[in-house]
């Protein structure tokens, strides 16, 4: 990592130590007279760095294995001949190393001289000026002269000059600027291979290579005719970060200059929760660089967090509050005070007219814990009802329910580091390479080390097979049959006696297990008997179950393909059963790990966003829990659970629910059955949307409160591994207020009398009322970087692994998982099954990523269809097709691919122009109402263009987005 | 003649390389098989090899471009390699090469207009004792002087 020019010692010294850390027995060596003790296997270079001596280097970096090509890091070791490279030489007890001598200095100077003889000397105008390791090393070795001189008749052979005398320089390769975020300038390249190794070892994409050999060696993306954009490159930025020169350089740095300060914060995209250094000049954000001490990402990033932050500056962002009396009027820009007073008066009026329970809130999984906590407090303490819900309803609510019932906590059991110890990984209904790319890179690294992989997914996703990784078993089930597959796996494990009896006897409820055994060993659950239903070959299923049960540490990772079903909760329970059956709980490398969709889904659930639960998953009907909050909030709390999002919309259509405060969520685009959502919103009298953009929901809003981006506020996010990460304010909010301040303004206008001055006070209140957060303070987070809840007196450092000595609920509970087919079925009119998902470049409804250069990779939603189904319907690749279900229809382009099986089609929901959720139905999970996004019976037919619905929708959206610029 | 043959299809490429997939370290044998079949390694083979061997396209390209002997287009009917390593240079290989190329009216890596001969440089054939050395279609020739070179050229019809 070459950004060590910014001195950043505490918190976390992020110097580049040269080679990766090792673990092992201690070995003591002497480096330049300083004794240093390091684990065996550590390189001499790293040992020297530990002693504070930085050996000059160019090709080494501590996030990749040593390569030994630059020959700059040579040292002398007493008793050894020659000058070994310190990066590739492991320490040996008693070794005496000298990093400086006349001989070494001469050699290093000679090496640098050769490098510089083929490098342009345009340092002053170079984008890496002041941030260039080549420059630093030239300084370090004391290079004062380059003796290589050109022959008289021509210039010195080089790669950087465009011309050679009168002719052109055939060795010169022009810049590749195809990637929207960074450039590749071969003229600056020293061929250290760091980018190629980062792409292979860190990211695992294998998109780069060294082309040619000797003096002709060049870094190359893809094959002959590729550039960076057309190659396999996923723009994760690992190569840019690895590059010691300006060869691979962020375009933002080229434009804005070298950053001079940095702030450590947390990415606001997916549930991995990567730590980043936001690097700035003043309040101008120059770039985001993954922070190497971030415990979720360990210095890696993906295209979204690394580059797609431009939405915060996008022209579409609304910075002034706006109001209107009805949704057919144009918006009127007003001052904050007027907007808040208007909103408060409306909500108060609605409550007076229609009753206490006629209003509610929707918290956001993209906002901070503190903000979410305040929004649910607003409804509970100010509106005095429990009508609060969150977007987690539409993604991971079954996880909360299923894991809560079986294990006693509504969260994943492991940290991400755990994957490094997994032997068999089962990925169910998740597409980590697109949805959780940084985790996917860590998983792929483990797979390349030899771990086995089982993928349960209707699509052949990239994790099934891509460069250097291949799943042992891919079970391509028919959408909607998860429960049958998971139960069949349990059947194999139980009937073949592969379960871990010791574990079950000591850790689980034995009587419940007996009952479960009776259920699951029934032959109707045998793989052979469910094959017709699920489409999964029985032999593969049996082999996969055996592998999971007997292959060592078995870890299950699952995503929305599990939860967003009418039996989402049942599948989660089934997964929990599998882990208990095989004893894969409570140590590194095992566990049940939900891959959370949004940055703070975990946190928003923890913070009491659900209508029946107060913060910390405690039911609102429990008087002792209510008492804690009644005392803290000085009010009475309604003991009746409130409305869930679908219930709110139903009640709105019926006329009993009239006011909604919706923070940072676009329910119109992200929730199923768009027509029903819009009908519900249209029936309300006051919809307050608090967001960065005029999103689709705002088309039905009366008050628009501009939001602040994650760069503009303080707070915490909780990622999928329960890790509470700090979000730090990098710049002042462009809209004037951080989101928690806006909620407080609204609450106070309604008479709440809150007076928080910093989110740390909100966290103090959370810690005081919620046992699992009892030990969390901003001071602790500052000191440790992050903690994983539960964090309290007994575990002050937090809890990386759950259920180590026993389940949180005491005994683990086996629960029967009866497969009940969804009511959504294919038939003659709708013979295909639609399943939905996401793609790497985009995030959720795309509100953020569509407003960045990420559209270069995915400008529109497309429909993946099997060539067999397409041919049958006369659909060719790239054709417009009409996608119709029982609830609606839309049009989009078709892509023919065998990634989806015949009978299954697939699309994403990132673009409002497509509105894939017009098609999805309002079937939902039996326990939690999580919508069944993943199964919809559809028909596909050729089409000429947008449907009537899309046109009328766009017209309405256009009309309702009008803004009167000058307030009269 | 190779150069007028239609570009090989994906299926043809698969047909040539697939049987070699079970070998240990199969990429080089596959590339040799392709070059043997078509006289060069077609670009279309890169994604096919990447798919069969589960590699990145870039990696396959990296390997192909590392070896000068893998061609990206067909050579002439015969290939003459003239050694340009130190021992041969000291025995007049540069002058020999220059006069040969001049006679043929082509440059290094060029093919004569009748398609008979491609001339390439090579760096040491292990024939230093018999320098200057050359290789014609895989057969080494030592102590090449202008007369011997003329005989070679006549033989291959250049």
- Give the span between the Cα atoms of A660 and A687, in whole angstroms: 5
Of A817, A825, A821, A834, residue with least CA distance to A906: A834
pLDDT beyond 80 at A968: no
Residue A14 has pLDDT above 60, yes or no: yes
Instruction: Summarize the confidence of residues A254-283 as an average pLDDT.
Output: 93
The bridge status of strand A686-691 relative to strand A703-706 is: parallel
Condensed to tens digits (0 to 9), the pLDDT of residues B10-39 reads 999 999 999 999 999 999 999 999 999 999
User: Tens of pLDDT along A305-341?
Assistant: 999 999 988 999 999 999 999 998 999 999 999 999 9
Query: What mean pLDDT comes out for the span A479-489?
Result: 94
List Cβ neighbours of A18 (8 Å cut-off, separation of 6 or more): A43, A45, A46, A49, A55, A57, A60, A61, A62, A66, A73, A86, A87
* Residues A224, B58: C-beta atoms closer than 8 Å: no
Q: What is the mean pLDDT of residues A246-252?
A: 96
Report the pLDDT averaged over residues A402-417.
90
- For residue A221, the chain B residue with the least C-alpha distance is B58
Residue B73 is assigned to a structural domain of this protein:
no
Contact residues, chain A, for B62 at CB < 8 Å: 209-211, 220
Q: Do B54 and A213 touch (CB under 8 A)?
A: no
Whether A206 sits inside 8 A of B62 (CB atoms) is no
The answer to whether the CB atoms of B62 and A225 lie below 8 A apart is: no
In whole angstroms, give the CA distance from residue A951 to residue A968. Answer: 32
Rounded to whole angstroms, the Cα distance separating B82 from B80 reads 6
Q: What is the mean pLDDT of residues A374-391?
A: 92
The fraction of chain A above a pLDDT of 70, given in percent, is: 98
Low-confidence residues of chain B: pLDDT under 50: 1-2
Would you give the distance in Å from CA B148 to the centre of its chain? 22
Is B71 among the domain residues?
A: no
Residues 79-138 of B with CB under 8 A from A: none
**What's residue A10's pLDDT?**
47
Measured CA to CA, the distance from residue A262 to residue A255 in angstroms comes to 18
> Where does the pLDDT of residue A933 fall: very low under 50, low under 70, confident under 90, or very high at 90 and above?
confident
Indicate if B52 and B91 belong to the same structural domain: no
Same domain, B56 and B102: no
pLDDT at A245 over 70: yes
Is A211 in Cβ contact with B56 (below 8 Å)?
no
- What angle do the packed helices B57-66 and B27-38 form, to 10 degrees? 70
The mean pLDDT value for A814-818 works out to 91
pLDDT for residue A56: 96
Task: Please give the mean pLDDT across all residues of chain A.
Answer: 91
CA dist., res. A581 & res. A586, Å (int): 13
Assigned fold of A397-594: Dimethylsulfoxide Reductase; domain 2 (3.40.228)
Q: Output the pLDDT for position A868.
A: 94
Q: How do the domains of chain A map onto residue ranges?
A: 3-141, 322-393+601-788, 397-594, 832-960
* A209: nearest CB among B47, B62, B72: B62
Give the architecture-level CATH label for domain A832-960: Beta Barrel (2.40)
DSSP A350: H
pLDDT in tens, A860-879: 889 999 999 999 999 999 99
CB pairs under 8 A between A and B: 60
Beta strands at B134-136 and B117-122: parallel, antiparallel or unpaired: unpaired
pLDDT exceeds 90 at position A667: no
B83 is in which domain, residue-wise?
Answer: 78-156
- B88 and B124, same domain (yes or no): yes
pLDDT exceeds 70 at position A6? no
* Co-location of B127 and B62 in the same domain: no
Chain A residues touching B46 at Cβ < 8 A? 223-224
pLDDT of residue A2: 38
Closest CA to A578 of A815, A339, A377: A815
Instruction: Read off the pLDDT of each residue in A85-92 and give the average, rounded to a whole number.
Output: 96
Question: Is B59 close to A466, i.e. CB distance below 8 A?
Answer: no
* Yes or no, beta carbons of A467 and B56 under 8 Å apart: yes
Are B34 and B104 part of one and the same domain? no
- The CATH code of the domain at A322-393+601-788 is 3.40.50.740
- Looking at CA atoms only, how far is residue A223 from chain B in angstroms? 5
Q: Is it the case that residue A683 has pLDDT exceeding 60?
A: yes
**pLDDT surpasses 50 at A676:** yes
Structural domain includes residue B50: yes
CA distances for A36 relative to A28, A72, A75, B67, angstroms: 6, 22, 16, 44
- Please give the sequence-ordered ranges of beta strands (E in DSSP) within chain B, or none if there are none: 78-83, 117-122, 134-136, 139-141
B56 touches chain A (CB under 8 A): yes
Same domain, B147 and B95: yes
Integer Cα distance of A777 and A757 in angstroms: 16
Closest residue on chain A to B54 (Cα) = A467
Residue B72 lies in a domain: no
In this prediction, residues A908-922 reach a mean pLDDT of 80
Domain shared by B150 and B90, yes or no:
yes
d(CA A36, CA A473): 47
- The phi, psi pair for A939, rounded to 5°, reads -125, 145
Q: What is the pLDDT of residue A76?
A: 97
The single-letter DSSP state of residue B98 is: H
The candidate with the shortest Cα–Cα distance to B77, out of B119, B135, B33, is B119
CB A18 within 8 A of CB A60: yes
Looking at residue A446, what is its pLDDT?
96
Evaluate if residue A5 carries a pLDDT over 60.
no
Is any Cβ of chain A less than 8 angstroms from the Cβ of B72? yes
If pLDDT is split at 50, 70 and 90, which confidence band does A966 have?
A: low
Residues of chain A neighbouring B50 (CB-CB closer than 8 A): 467
CA gap A267, A290 in Å, rounded? 9
Residue range A3-141, CATH number: 3.10.20.740
The pLDDT > 90 percentage for chain A reads 73
pLDDT of residue A718 exceeding 70, the answer is: yes
pLDDT at A3 over 50: no
Mean pLDDT on A290-301: 92
**A618-622 mean pLDDT:** 91
Query: What mean pLDDT is predicted for residues A184-193?
Result: 95
Chain B nearest-CA residue for A213: B66
Q: What mean pLDDT comes out for the span A472-499?
A: 94
Same domain, B83 and B140: yes
Residues 6+ apart with CB under 8 A from A146: A113, A116, A117
Arithmetic mean of pLDDT, A254-263? 93
In chain B, how many domains are there?
A: 2
pLDDT score, position B5: 67
| HEC-encoded secondary structure of A432-497 | HHHHCHHHHHHHHHHHHCCCEEEEECCECCCCCEECCEECCEEECCCCCCHHHHHHHHHHHHHHCC
B82 and B125 co-located in one domain: yes
- pLDDT at A885 exceeding the cut of 70: yes
Structure confidence at residue A967 as a pLDDT band (50, 70, 90): very low
Q: Smallest CA–CA separation between A467 and chain B, in Å? A: 4
CA A877 to chain centre: 31
Q: pLDDT digit string (tens) for A754-800? A: 999 999 999 999 999 999 999 999 999 998 889 998 898 888 889 99
* Residue where a domain terminates, one of B11, B40, B66: B66
């Amino acid at each position: 990592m070459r950004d060590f020019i910014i001195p950043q010692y505490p918190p976390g010294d992020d110097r580049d130590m040269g080679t990766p850390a090792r673990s092992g027995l201690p070995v003591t060596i002497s480096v330049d007279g300083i004794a240093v003790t390091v684990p065996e296997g550590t390189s001499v270079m790293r040992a020297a760095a530990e002693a504070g001596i930085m050996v000059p280097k160019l090709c080494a970096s501590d996030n990749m294995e040593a390569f030994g090509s630059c020959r700059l890091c040579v040292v002398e070791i007493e008793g050894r001949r020659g000058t070994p490279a310190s990066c590739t030489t492991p320490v040996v007890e008693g070794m005496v190393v000298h990093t400086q001598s006349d001989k070494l200095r001469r050699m290093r100077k000679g090496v640098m001289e050769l490098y510089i003889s083929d490098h342009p000397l345009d340092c002053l105008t170079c984008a890496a000026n002041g941030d260039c390791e080549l420059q630093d090393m030239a300084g370090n070795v004391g290079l004062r002269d380059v003796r290589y001189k050109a022959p008289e008749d021509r210039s010195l052979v080089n790669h950087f000059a465009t011309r050679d005398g009168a002719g052109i320089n055939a060795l010169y390769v022009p810049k590749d600027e195809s990637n929207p975020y960074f450039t590749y300038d071969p003229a600056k390249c020293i061929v250290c291979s760091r980018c190629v190794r980062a792409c292979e070892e860190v990211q695992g994409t294998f998109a780069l290579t060294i082309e040619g050999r000797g003096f002709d060696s060049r870094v190359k993306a893809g094959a002959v005719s590729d550039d960076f954009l057309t190659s396999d490159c996923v723009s994760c930025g690992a190569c840019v970060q690895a590059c010691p020169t300006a060869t691979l350089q962020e375009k933002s740095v080229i434009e804005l200059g070298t950053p001079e300060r940095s702030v450590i914060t947390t990415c606001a995209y997916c549930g991995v929760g990567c730590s980043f250094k936001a690097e700035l000049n003043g309040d101008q954000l120059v770039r985001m660089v993954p922070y190497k001490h971030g415990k979720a990402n360990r210095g890696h990033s993906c295209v979204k967090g690394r580059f797609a932050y431009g939405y915060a500056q996008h022209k579409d962002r609304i910075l002034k509050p706006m109001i209107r009396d009805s949704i057919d009027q144009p918006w009127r820009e007003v001052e904050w005070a007027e907007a808040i007073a208007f909103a408060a008066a409306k909500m108060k009026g609605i409550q007076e007219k229609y009753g206490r329970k006629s209003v509610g809130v929707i918290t956001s999984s993209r906002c901070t814990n503190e903000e979410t906590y305040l929004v649910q407090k607003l409804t509970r303490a100010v509106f005095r009802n429990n009508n609060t819900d969150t977007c987690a309803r539409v993604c991971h609510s079954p996880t909360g329910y299923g894991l809560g019932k079986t294990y006693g906590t509504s969260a994943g059991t492991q940290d991400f580091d755990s994957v490094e110890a997994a032997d068999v990984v089962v990925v169910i209904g998740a597409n980590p390479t697109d949805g959780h790319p940084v985790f996917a890179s860590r998983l792929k690294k483990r797979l390349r080390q030899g771990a086995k992989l089982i993928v349960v997914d209707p699509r052949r996703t990239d994790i099934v097979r891509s460069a250097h990784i291949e799943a042992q078993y891919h079970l391509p089930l028919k959408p909607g049959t998860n429960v049958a597959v998971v139960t069949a796996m349990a059947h194999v494990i139980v009937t073949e006696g592969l379960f871990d009896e010791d574990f079950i006897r000591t850790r689980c409820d034995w009587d419940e297990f007996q009952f479960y055994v009776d259920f699951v060993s029934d032959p109707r659950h045998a793989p052979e008997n469910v094959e017709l239903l699920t489409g999964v070959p029985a032999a593969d299923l049996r082999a996969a179950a055996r592998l999971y049960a007997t292959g060592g540490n078995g870890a299950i990772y699952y995503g929305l393909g599990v939860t967003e079903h009418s039996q989402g909760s049942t599948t989660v329970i089934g997964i929990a059963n599998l882990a208990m059956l095989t004893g894969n709980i409570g140590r590194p490398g095992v566990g049940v790990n939900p891959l959370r969709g949004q940055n703070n889904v975990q946190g928003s659930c923890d913070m009491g966003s659900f209508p029946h639960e107060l913060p910390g998953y405690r039911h609102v009907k429990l008087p002792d829990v209510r008492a804690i909050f009644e005392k803290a909030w000085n009010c009475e709390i309604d003991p009746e659970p409130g409305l869930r999002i679908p219930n709110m919309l139903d009640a709105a259509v019926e006329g009993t629910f009239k006011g909604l405060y919706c923070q940072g969520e676009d329910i119109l685009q992200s929730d199923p059955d768009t027509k029903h959502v819009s009908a519900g919103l249209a029936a309300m009298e006051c919809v307050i949307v608090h967001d960065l953009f005029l999103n689709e929901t705002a088309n039905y809003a009366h008050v628009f409160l501009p939001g602040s981006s994650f760069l503009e506020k303080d707070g915490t996010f909780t990622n999928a591994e329960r890790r509470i990460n700090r979000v730090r304010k990098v710049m002042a909010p462009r809209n004037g207020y951080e989101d928690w301040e806006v909620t407080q303004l609204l609450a106070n206008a309604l008479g709440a009398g809150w007076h928080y001055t910093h989110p740390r006070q909100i966290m103090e209140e959370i810690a005081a009322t919620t046992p699992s957060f009892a030990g969390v303070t901003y001071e602790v987070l500052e000191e440790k970087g992050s903690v994983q809840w539960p964090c309290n007196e007994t575990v002050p450092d937090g809890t990386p692994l759950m259920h180590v000595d026993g389940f949180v609920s005491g005994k683990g509970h086996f629960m029967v998982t009866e497969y009940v087919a969804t009511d959504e079925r294919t038939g003659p009119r709708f013979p295909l099954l639609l399943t939905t998902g996401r793609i790497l470049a985009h995030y959720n409804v795309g509100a953020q990523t569509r407003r960045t250069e990420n559209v270069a990779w995915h400008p529109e939603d497309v429909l993946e269809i099997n060539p067999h189904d397409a041919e049958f319907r006369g659909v060719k690749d790239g054709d417009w097709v009409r996608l119709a279900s029982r609830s609606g229809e839309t049009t989009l382009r078709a892509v023919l691919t065998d990634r989806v099986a015949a009978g299954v089609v697939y699309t994403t929901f990132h673009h409002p122009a497509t509105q894939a959720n017009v098609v999805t139905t309002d079937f939902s999970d039996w326990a939690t109402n999580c919508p069944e996004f993943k199964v919809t019976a559809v028909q596909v037919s050729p089409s000429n263009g947008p449907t009537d619905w899309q046109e009328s929708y766009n017209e309405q959206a256009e009309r309702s987005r009008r803004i009167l610029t000058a307030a009269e | 003649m190779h150069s007028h043959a239609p570009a090989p299809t994906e299926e043809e490429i698969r047909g040539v390389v697939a049987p070699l997939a079970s070998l240990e370290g199969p990429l080089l044998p596959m590339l040799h098989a392709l070059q043997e079949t078509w006289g060069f390694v077609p670009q279309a083979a890169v994604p096919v090899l990447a798919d069969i061997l589960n590699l990145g396209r870039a990696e396959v390209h990296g390997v192909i471009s590392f070896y000068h002997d893998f061609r990206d287009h067909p050579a002439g009917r015969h290939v003459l390699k003239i050694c340009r390593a130190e021992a041969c240079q000291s025995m007049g290989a540069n002058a020999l090469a220059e006069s040969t190329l001049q006679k043929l009216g082509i440059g290094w890596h060029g093919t004569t207009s009748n398609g008979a001969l491609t001339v390439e440089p090579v760096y040491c054939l292990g024939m230093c004792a018999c320098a200057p050395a050359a290789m014609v279609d895989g057969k080494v020739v030592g102590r090449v002087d202008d007369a011997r070179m003329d005989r070679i050229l006549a033989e291959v019809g250049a």
